Chains A and B, each alone.
Chain A
Amino acid sequence: DIQMTQSPSLLSASVGDRVTITCRASPGISNHVAWFQQKPGKAPKSLIFAASTLQGGVPSRFSGSGSGTELTLTITSLQPEDFATYYCQQYHAYPWTFGQGTKVEI
């Protein structure tokens, strides 16, 4: 199975900060990664697929990059509504796997 190691698990930040979350894939997954945001009691929200393609309606402060074994989600100028838990997910091969999650807190 493909392992997705996500870091950090907890990220303390302030409004306006730039934050970066990393997923390391083993083995490599090309660009077959999606990023999700989840808030308590809500369904996940897909932000990015194919490593860097934003889903419709997602603000441009979200961006994704990387390929192979290191994939990154960046949020420039963190907004109050961005405090949530973020997950990467590989769809390169079954079984699909998620990273462990990164909680972005104030």
Chain B
Amino acid sequence: EVQLLESGGGLVQPGGSLRLSCAASGFTFSQFVMAWVRLAPGKGLEWVSSIADTGRTFYLDSVKGRLTISRDNSRNTLYLHMRSLRDEDTAVYYCAMYRPGDYQPPYDYWGQGTKVTVSS
């Protein structure tokens, strides 16, 4: 059974840092595209970042240089390193699994979400 379990969220001051983790199980983690998607209060879903099975990374413009996606295939874990956090990064962050290839449609496998609150 595929499972994705996020952790690492919390309350952080503006300008602070956090590292989110997503522990994966039930599939060959290294072979799939993984992504972070967030839901801010009162807003809609927003794609944040993806990392391909090849290791290539992609980012939403507003997070480039501040958020870094990575994966440790030996630990079956996806990460989102967050620094210089802003109020607008406040959201529930979900990890999700997507198909590899030139076009990368989603599977229906999502974590339960981890909440990040940026506030002084």
Given the known inter-chain contacts A49-B105, A55-B108, please indicate yes or no for A96 contacting B45, CB distance below 8 A.
Answer: no
Partner of A98, one of B45, B61, B94: B45
Residues of A36-92 contacting chain B, CB below 8 A: 36, 38, 43-47, 49-50, 53, 55-58, 85, 87, 89, 91-92
For chain B, which range describes its interface: under 10, 10 to 19, 20 to 34, or 35 or more residues?
20 to 34
Question: A50 to B50, Cβ gap below 8 A?
Answer: no
Taking the nearest CB of chain B, how far is it from the CB of A58, in angstroms? Answer: 8
Task: List residues of chain B with CB within 8 A of the CB of A20.
Answer: none
A-B contact pairs, 8 of them (CB 8 A): A32-B105, A34-B106, A44-B96, A44-B110, A46-B108, A89-B106, A92-B103, A100-B44
Interface of B is mostly: strand
- Chain B residues with CB under 8 Å of A43's CB are 94, 110-113
8 A Cβ contacts from B9-51 to A: 35, 37, 39, 44-47, 50
Contact A95 B45 (CB under 8 A): no
B103 cross-chain contacts in A, Cβ below 8 A? 32, 91-92
Chain A contacts to B: CB under 8 angstroms: 1, 32, 34, 36, 38, 43-47, 49-50, 53, 55-58, 85, 87, 89, 91-92, 94-101
B50 and A94 contacting across the interface, CB-CB below 8 Å: yes
In the complex, how many residue pairs between chain A and chain B have their CB atoms under 8 Å apart?
Answer: 67
**What residues of A have a CB within 8 angstroms of the CB of B45 in the complex?**
36, 38, 44, 87, 89, 98, 101
CB distance from B117 to the nearest CB of A (A): 16
Residue of B nearest to A101 (CB): B44
Chain A residue numbers with a CB within 8 Å of B58 are 94-96
Contact among B105, B108, B111 with A91 in the assembled complex (CB-CB below 8 Å): B105
What separation, in Å, do the CA atoms of A87 and B46 have in the docked complex?
10
Q: Does B98 contact A (CB under 8 A)?
A: yes
Indicate whether B3 reaches chain A with its CB closer than 8 angstroms: no
